[in-house]
């Protein structure tokens, strides 16, 4: 785990031997399950360390300081094989984590892995953000809402903002040219109770391929009708038509 270790050190994180073992177990289980269900195209040890594990940790500098509570609650929307939620839980064991994933098989992998890693305070939900966001115990409850590689920003705003507590923060990981997406999403974000998005480039030498964080603070409640029914946020995003 040398690449992860030195990258994490740059983020101010000294991973201890238990954490490094957990990352090793994560790697082994990922590769094992990947032979049966499609979890990732990235399988080389160095690549997994950098493009999955370290990339997940790269959101930490964007956490709001101080976070609302001592043990911040965090939800990862469309977690897939656990990114970014699970590497964050390994690195910061005090967080309370919910992993939300629509595909049952991936959710089964996440449950298996959570047990294997002996992690407390991790809940895996198999379901769609459009449904779960209307459940009382998850709506506007989280200090931090994360999502990586799930949808374009206007749709993703609708899938993430409803989960965030007022005063909390949404951090979305994006690659490549995102200016257009961000300006398209600006009005949607406002409607859903978010601040104007701030875009930060990930400044890690190990990840020098145009990775960005879109940071949104939750400033007012999300109207109860959002998110709309499953599929609608992506199919018919609430875009600003300049009206």
C-alpha to C-alpha distance for 90 and 199, rounded to whole angstroms? 26
User: Which residue, 88 or 102, is less far from ligand SAH as judged by CB?
Assistant: 102
Find the shortest distance in angstroms from Cβ 145 to ligand SAH.
Answer: 13
User: Which residue, 19 or 56, is less far from ligand SAH as judged by CB?
Assistant: 56
Find the shortest distance in angstroms from Cβ 153 to ligand SAH.
Answer: 14
What SS3 state is found at 181?
helix
Q: How many residues does the chain have?
A: 243
Pairing of strands 96-101, 122-126: parallel
User: Which residue, 106 or 169, is less far from ligand SAH as judged by CB?
Assistant: 106
C-alpha to C-alpha distance for 213 and 151, rounded to whole angstroms? 14
x/- mask, ligand SAH, residues 102-131, rule CB under 6 A, reads xx--x---------------------xxx-
# residues near ligand SAH by CB under 6 A: 17
Which of these ranges, 26-34, 74-82, 186-194, 202-210, lies near ligand SAH under the rule CB under 6 A?
74-82
Angle at 48 (CA atoms; ends 91, 117), nearest 5 degrees: 45
Quick one: CA torsion of 116, 121, 127, 130, rounded to 10 degrees?
-150
Binding ligand SAH (rule: CB under 6 A), the pick from 29, 101, 143, 181 is 101
Q: Does 174 bind ligand SAH (CB under 6 A)?
A: no
Local structure of residue 220 (DSSP, 8 states)? S
Local structure of residue 128 (DSSP, 8 states)? -
Find the shortest distance in angstroms from Cβ 108 to ligand SAH.
Answer: 12
Q: Does 78 bind ligand SAH (CB under 6 A)?
A: yes
CA-nearest of 121, 119, 70, 123 to 101 is 123
DSSP 18-77: HHHHHHHHHHHHHHHHHTTS---S--SHHHIIIIIIIHHHTTGGGS-SS-SSSS-EEEEE
Binding residues for ligand SAH restricted to 132-171, rule: CB under 6 A: 148-150, 159
Which of these ranges, 101-109, 110-118, 205-213, 214-222, lies near ligand SAH under the rule CB under 6 A?
101-109
User: Which residue, 101 or 206, is less far from ligand SAH as judged by CB?
Assistant: 101
User: Which residue, 101 or 143, is less far from ligand SAH as judged by CB?
Assistant: 101
- Interacting residues with ligand SAH (CB under 6 A): 78-81, 83, 100-103, 106, 128-130, 148-150, 159
């Amino acid at each position: 785990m040398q690449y992860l270790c030195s990258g994490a050190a740059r983020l101010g994180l000294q991973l201890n031997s238990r954490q490094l073992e957990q990352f090793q177990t994560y790697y082994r289980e990922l590769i094992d399950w990947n032979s049966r269900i499609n979890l990732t195209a990235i399988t080389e040890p160095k690549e997994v360390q950098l493009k999955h594990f370290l990339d997940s940790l790269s959101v930490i500098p964007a956490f709001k300081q101080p976070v609302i509570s001592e043990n911040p609650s965090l939800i990862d929307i469309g977690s897939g094989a656990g990114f970014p939620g699970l590497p964050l839980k390994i690195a910061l064991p005090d967080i309370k984590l919910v992993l939300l994933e629509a595909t049952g098989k991936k959710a089964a992998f996440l449950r298996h892995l959570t047990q294997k890693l002996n992690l407390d305070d991790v809940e895996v939900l198999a379901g769609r953000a459009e449904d779960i966001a209307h459940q009382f115990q998850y709506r506007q409850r989280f200090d931090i809402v994360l999502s990586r590689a799930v949808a374009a920003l206007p749709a993703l705003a609708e899938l993430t903002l409803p989960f965030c507590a007022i005063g909390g923060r949404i951090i979305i990981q994006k690659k490549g040219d995102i200016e257009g997406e961000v300006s398209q999403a600006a009005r949607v974000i406002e409607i859903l109770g978010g601040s104007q998005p701030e875009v930060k480039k990930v400044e890690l030498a190990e990840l020098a391929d145009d990775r960005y964080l879109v940071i949104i603070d939750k400033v007012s409640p999300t109207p109860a009708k959002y998110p709309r029914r499953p599929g609608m946020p992506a199919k018919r995003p609430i875009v600003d038509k300049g009206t």
